[in-house]
Amino acid sequence: MSTFIENQNWRYATKKFDATKKISDENIALLKKAIQSAASSYGLQPYKVFFIENPEVRAQLQPAAWGQSQIVDASHLIVFASINKLNEAYIDAFVQNMATTRNLQVADLEGYATFMKGAILNMPEDKMATWTAKQTYIALGNLLAAAAELKIDVTPMEGFEPEKFNEILGFNERGLHATLVAPIGYRHAEDALQFAAKVRKSEEELFETI
Amino acid sequence: MSTFIENQNWRYATKKFDATKKISDENIALLKKAIQSAASSYGLQPYKVFFIENPEVRAQLQPAAWGQSQIVDASHLIVFASINKLNEAYIDAFVQNMATTRNLQVADLEGYATFMKGAILNMPEDKMATWTAKQTYIALGNLLAAAAELKIDVTPMEGFEPEKFNEILGFNERGLHATLVAPIGYRHAEDALQFAAKVRKSEEELFETI
């Protein structure tokens, strides 16, 4: 377990990636599994996760992320996109998946389905979009922890223009919204920030016991 | 690394805790370190994390979480509370911490401080509160990953009434908002859900390459 903390101390938001170093297919598969296994509200995973490999698309995205070099220099570029509005069909598909996975009848899950629909489908649109967006932050958390274990660098980013990302990546017509960007790869030897101490609130400031 | 995935598969949102099993002080210390090391926007950690040990307070909170048994049966109860509104003093304190931690002069960080203040202090209040709330989801992600490594169970919860939690825990007068609740402890042998297969979107459905 001290490994977890050591990995966290090793991790930092990389400013400059080594563009010559690529993540292996095997490690990409592991990172995908880590994202896929993340917790989410009701287990609904109300998002999609995009791996942007096309260099032209990445070049197009760079100015929409304040020109940050990581967008084009990282080995891979991940964009988390939340689903703005879940509908009845979405929840039905989830229940069907649950029935198949757990070898149950959909009819056995009817009560649960009705409960979820009552809780979710009447949410105001902006509240629902915020709620689905929040779920992507847990998935990002899993990506960060898994990547640190593999000594793969990640730069979690909110510093980009979501509207431009949505437009470039065709998210608007699909009801998706870019919530988080995560270039992944290997830190450049010249990125001085890797040697800087982590800045964190003290335990006394962060935690409180009641 | 396959351990990370194995731990994720072991993990589930525990429905019933074994109220007789307590997490050791040593493991609580490790979980705190995991939360403390979580990434956040600018590294600002715009939240506080409460460990609710007082059984009377936990009993008071239970009806505000739909009566869920985990609130009182888990070994410990964690409540994440985001800071509704960051002000200039908050950012100054962060910059001071950065200067101390990295052995720099505050004056050297003036440009960065000004940049952050410009980006943050003019945010509309509701947008800022949503943004700080989102950061707690990354910290929850770290808690989930670390706990799974320690074979400690967690039930991440959005299913509670934040306004009632805010009132009971005195958050309103401190500008805090309860965003996530996480009872932690050890699963009860009788919780059948621990044997159910994990329901997840297929990789084909979740991921897309551009």
CB of B124 closer than 8 Å to CB of B90: no
What ipTM does the predicted assembly reach? 0.95
Q: How far is A124 from chain B (nearest CA, A)?
A: 15
- pLDDT at residue B2 tops 70: no
Average pLDDT (B173-177) is 97
Average pLDDT (B102-127) is 95
How high is the pLDDT of residue B3? 84
Strand runs (DSSP E) across chain B, as ranges?
47-52, 76-83, 153-154, 176-185, 207-209
CB of B193 closer than 8 Å to CB of B153: no
Read off the pLDDT of residues A28-43 as tens digits, 9 standing for 90 and up: 999 999 999 999 999 9
**Interface mutation vs chain B, best among A137, A155, A193, most B CBs within 10 Å:** A137
Measured in degrees and rounded to the nearest 5, phi and psi for residue B112 equal -65, -40
User: Are B140 and A135 in contact (CB < 8 Å)?
Assistant: no
CB of B177 closer than 8 Å to CB of B134: no
Strand runs (DSSP E) across B30-170, as ranges?
47-52, 76-83, 153-154
What CATH topology corresponds to B2-81+138-188?
Answer: NADH Oxidase (3.40.109)
**Which residues from chain A sit within 8 angstroms of residue B130, using beta carbons?**
130
Read off the pLDDT of residues B51-76 as tens digits, 9 standing for 90 and up: 999 999 999 999 999 999 999 999 99
How high is the pLDDT of residue B76? 97
What CATH number is given for A2-86+121-192 in this structure? 3.40.109.10
How high is the pLDDT of residue A2? 66
Strand, helix or coil for residue A139: helix
User: Are B138 and A140 in contact (CB < 8 Å)?
Assistant: yes
Read off the pLDDT of residues A92-133 as tens digits, 9 standing for 90 and up: 999 999 999 999 999 999 999 999 999 999 999 999 999 999
Report, as ranges of residue numbers, the positions in chain A whose pLDDT lies below 70.
1-2
Q: Would you kindly state where each structural domain of chain B is located, as residue ranges?
A: 2-81+138-188
Q: Is B113 on the interface with A (CB under 8 A)?
A: no
| Residues with Cβ within 8 Å of residue B167, at least 6 apart in sequence | none
How high is the pLDDT of residue A3? 84
Q: Is A198 on the interface with B (CB under 8 A)?
A: yes
Measured in residues, chain B has a length of 210
